[in-house]
Structure 1
Amino acid sequence: MDRLATLDLFIRIVDRGSFSAAAAACGVSRPVATAAIKALESRLGTRLLQRSTRHVRPTEEGVAYYWRCIAILADLEDADRNAGGAVSGVLRVDVVGYLARTILLPALPEFLARHPALTVHLGEGERFVDLLREGVDCVVRAGALADSDMVARPLGVMEEVTVASPDYLARHGMPTTPEDLEGHQMIGFVSSRTGQPLPLEFKRGDEVIEVMLPTRLLVSGAETSAAAARQGFGLVQAPRYRFIDDLANGTLIEVLADFPPTPMPLSVLYPSNRQLSPRVRVFVDWVVKIIGSGLLPGA
């Protein structure tokens, strides 16, 4: 491996804590990766990585070298771009699935045409992602952001609604205030952070009312939650754009419209402890532009 490829390999090993995962990402075999790192350590005259049967961690010298490698490769990408070189490589992004399919994919051909040397690996998810260990460059997420070492670029806020199926409301009645929810059920959407179902939320003026209803069904995916609402399992809350067609054709009915949930912020996040690479920068700027231009229906 040449020196730049070895630096890239070393960064990936530290990020993922694994020789095998890093080797696969670089398109080389595990023995080739091992030999390259041994040669690097021999040339530098110091040990960069501590190896065990389960984990690979950088030594103190390895940490310092890691940050120098990050800066060197980022500077090289910037130099290529400023000299007229194309943004290239594989950009790994993780996005909420419905948003990926309805907003990003339709607009993606124009983005790829603008950057023909760039490949986008679009993952779908709603759980917390360890960007460094999983090799993800950035994520688009909805909801309040916990304190973290991520940089968050706001994309806007999404209007939230409470919905239920006509069959469910025929059986349980249409509530007119949050106090009327006694005897109702909700579809329990399990938080990826806490492992517990999230309460329903209703705004009355400046007051926010949280209601935890009984649930016979717990889910961890937004698509499953929406499908369960259509099947009459209970009340559910989600961004309005997810239910535009359902509300239009009567598959779902809005409930307690005078007491809407708090609007949900949407953000794109990337690690703060890395210099932003050109491919991440152009993607983040693009996402901010397309979401900010009103492509998100019902937002």
Structure 2
Amino acid sequence: MDRFDAMQAFVRVVEAGSFTKAAQTLQISKTTVTHLVQQLELRLGVKLFHRTTRQVKPTAEGAAYYERVLQILADLEDADTSVAHASVSPKGRLRVDVPSPFARYILMPALPAFHARYPDLQLDLGVSDRKVNLIGDNVDCVVRGGEITEPSLVARKAGDLVLRVYASPGYLARMGTPQHPRELEDASAHRIVAYMQGSSGRAATIPMRRGDETVEVQGHYTVSVDDGNAYLEAGLVGMGVLWLPVYMAEGHASRGELVQLFEDWQMDPMPMYLAYPPNRHVSTKLRVFIDWMVELLAQHAPPIARSASKR
């Protein structure tokens, strides 16, 4: 038995909660993973997992062993990278998940510069607005807009997105220009494009402020979407009023394809986070990607002091 391979297989089963998923992420057969774990159990003389038809969970001994093995594997990787770091740039495969508008407008245009800096890194990008299971899907890092609510993740705030309200000239010509956010609640007068939040199936509500006045706009919609790029396109073709980060809207606004509304109203900025599993070792390749993302967000969405956002 190769103890290193067996420990890697064991760790991946714990993180994935499945022998099948662990085999897929390791790109080996389920039979091989099962054999490696069984050999490890035989060598240690303890049962490492509780197995049922629905799930695989570590035993008390397995959970304790997982914490020790994780550190051993991290130390081994550090030993390898410390020797090679002086002459070799970070290399290997990195799995990252990002929102679709962020990929389109910010990440993809900047990728050539990242590749030039780190030519030996291979990025596997998941591009969607769904929330992935970092451990179950074996994702190294995610970029997310909005507060991170999962206590199981390590989150690093990297910026704030300024939000504004827009509509297309065609929509305003057809429906008129609203002068107050409350007008959007009149179903006979206006429509919004609704953005559905994850698996909740509910459209997001938008709090807005002007001085001491606060309103929370729900609005009525003809179309709802769960993808940021589709949300923008629906607004551009005149399906309703939009709440957009400035980075998504500024190009279209400069070309006259979108018109900003309610310029004297403010909204809280949307925080942007980089998140990764707490027990996932921050390797050199992950560290350089996170540092680069922080640089990138500092250009497009610099952090805003909370007091400044509550004017």
Q: Same fold (TM over 0.5)?
A: yes
> What's 1:272 paired with?
278
Report if aligned partners of 2:160, 2:301 keep a CA contact under 8 Å in 1: no
Report if aligned partners of 1:128, 1:193 keep a CA contact under 8 Å in 2: no
Which among 164, 171, 176 is matched to residue 173 of structure 1? 176
Q: Root-mean-square deviation (CA), in Å?
A: 2.1
Report if aligned partners of 1:149, 1:273 keep a CA contact under 8 Å in 2: no
> What's 1:253 paired with?
259
> What's 1:139 paired with?
142
Structure 1 unaligned blocks of 5 or more: none
For the residue of structure 2 that corresponds to 1:216, the secondary structure is: strand
2: distance between equivalents of 1:29 and 1:113? 35
Report if aligned partners of 2:159, 2:301 keep a CA contact under 8 Å in 1: no
Which among 77, 90, 97 is matched to residue 93 of structure 2? 90
Displacement of 1:116: 4.2
> What's 1:53 paired with?
53
Q: 1:171-222 CA deviation, whole Å, 9 max, x = no partner?
A: 2211122233333221111111533100133221365421111112121111
Which residues of 2 match residues 47-196 of structure 1 at below 5 A? 47-85=47-85, 86=88, 87-146=90-149, 148-181=151-184, 182=186, 183-192=189-198, 194-196=200-202
2: distance between equivalents of 1:142 and 1:268? 9
Query: Structure 1 segments of 4 or more deviating over 4 A?
Result: none
1: distance between equivalents of 2:84 and 2:123? 21
Report if aligned partners of 1:190, 1:218 keep a CA contact under 8 Å in 2: yes
Moved more, 196-205 or 39-48: 196-205
1: distance between equivalents of 2:212 and 2:126? 37
2: distance between equivalents of 1:135 and 1:259? 42
| CA 208–10 in structure 1, closer or farther in 2 if over 3 Å, else same | farther
Which among 183, 186, 210 is matched to residue 216 of structure 2? 210
TM-score, normalised relative to structure 2: 0.88
1: distance between equivalents of 2:137 and 2:206? 32
For the residue of structure 2 that corresponds to 1:217, the secondary structure is: strand
Counterpart of 2:226 in structure 1: which amino acid? S
* Aligned length in residues: 297
2: distance between equivalents of 1:91 and 1:10? 20
> What's 2:12 paired with?
12
2: distance between equivalents of 1:207 and 1:152? 33
Displacement of 1:42: 0.8
1: distance between equivalents of 2:91 and 2:64? 27
Q: 1:56-75 CA deviation, whole Å, 9 max, x = no partner?
A: 21111111111112111111
Counterpart of 1:174 in structure 2: which amino acid? T
2: distance between equivalents of 1:112 and 1:169? 43
For the residue of structure 1 that corresponds to 2:220, the secondary structure is: coil
Report if aligned partners of 1:190, 1:219 keep a CA contact under 8 Å in 2: yes
TM-score, normalised relative to structure 1: 0.91
Counterpart of 1:64 in structure 2: which amino acid? A
Report if aligned partners of 2:100, 2:227 keep a CA contact under 8 Å in 1: no
> What's 1:36 paired with?
36
Structure 2 unaligned blocks of 5 or more: 305-311
| CA 75–189 in structure 1, closer or farther in 2 if over 3 Å, else same | same
| CA 147–21 in structure 1, closer or farther in 2 if over 3 Å, else same | closer
For the residue of structure 1 that corresponds to 2:43, the secondary structure is: helix
Displacement of 1:274: 3.8
2: distance between equivalents of 1:208 and 1:72? 53
> What's 2:230 paired with?
224
Which among 220, 235, 245 is matched to residue 239 of structure 1? 245
